[in-house]
Amino acid sequence: MLKVYGMSSSGNCYKIKLLLEQLACPYRWEEIDIMQGSTRTADFLAMNPNGKVPTLELEAGVFLAESNAILHYLADETGFMPTEKLARAWVLQWMFFEQYSHEPYIAVARFICKYLCADHPRRAELPRLLERGYQALGVMEQHLAGRAFFVDERYSIADIALFAYTHEADVGGFDVTRYPAVRSWLDRVAGQPKFFPLTPT
């Protein structure tokens, strides 16, 4: 059975849990607490030398890292991945956009606001994170205006990848109400079968 090493409060790990639940794919979840250094142990680094969650164990001793590479692997030949070559390329385009232009700002702002004390020096990063994160939201808004989902007018792993931290952007200080197409898309994703949010309500 698939085994996911993940931290439940992480948006990158949530992506994998959401897809596995929506696929109705059996898996085991091993909770890893990054804050306690559990990704820096020799045992963990032997599974993923980059020391990050999520890490997927496909079978004993066979590992796959990087949340979006895991999504891509799991979604292959399912309804969460388009079949047409160009649509598949656009799915990857948006997943690379997420990891390069979105997550480093929106997820990091969330982390700082949620976990670090009010006078922590890393709060000095917030103005730049907000500026860059708003740029990413602007790109999403422009693309989603007149579209239901990111690719091919149907829900795919591109939506899961971008939803994970966008639906908690407010935690990092972003005002998502400025982006009506993004807001509507968030609602459409939240309306999918077997949906659940990152943070239990």
Binding site for its own copies (CB under 8 A): 49-50, 52, 58, 62, 64-70, 72-73, 76, 85-86, 89-90, 92-93, 95-97, 99-101, 103-104, 139, 142-143
Q: How far is the CB of 72 from its own copies (least distance, A)?
A: 6
Minimum CB distance to its own copies smaller for 181 or for 200? 181
Q: How far is the CB of 191 from its own copies (least distance, A)?
A: 26
The number of C-alpha atoms within 13 Å of 163 and in the hemisphere containing its C-beta is: 27
Minimum CB distance to its own copies smaller for 49 or for 197? 49
Q: How far is the CB of 140 from its own copies (least distance, A)?
A: 9
Mention every residue, 6+ apart, whose C-beta is less than 8 A from residue 114: 171, 172
Mention every residue, 6+ apart, whose C-beta is less than 8 A from residue 197: 167, 190
Minimum CB distance to its own copies smaller for 45 or for 148? 45
Please list the alpha-helical segments (H only) found in 116-198. 126-144, 157-166, 180-190
